[in-house]
Amino acid sequence: MLVHLSEEQLALLLAGNDATSAADHLGACTECQQKLEIWKTNLRQLRDDISFSSQRSGAYWHIQRNAITSRLEKPALNNFWNFGWTLACYALALSVLVLVFINFHQPGITPPKNEITDEALLSDLEDRMTEDVPEALQPANLLVSEMSDTEDHGTKIIHNEALGKSK
Per-residue pLDDT reduced to its tens digit, 104-137:
665 666 656 677 888 888 888 888 877 777 788 7
CB contact set of 2 (below 8 Å; sequence gap of 6+):
25, 28, 29
The set of residues, in sequence order, having a beta carbon less than 8 Å from that of 10 and lying 6+ positions away, is 32, 35, 36, 39
Please state, as a whole number, how many other Cβ atoms lie within 10 Å of the Cβ of residue 9.
19
Name the average pLDDT for the chain: 78
DSSP letter (8 states) at residue 136: G
pLDDT tens per residue across span 68-86: 888 776 655 556 667 788 8
Higher pLDDT, 37 or 100: 37
How far is Cα 154 from Cα 101, in angstroms, rounded to an integer?
A: 59
* Confidence band, pLDDT 50/70/90 cuts, at residue 1: very low
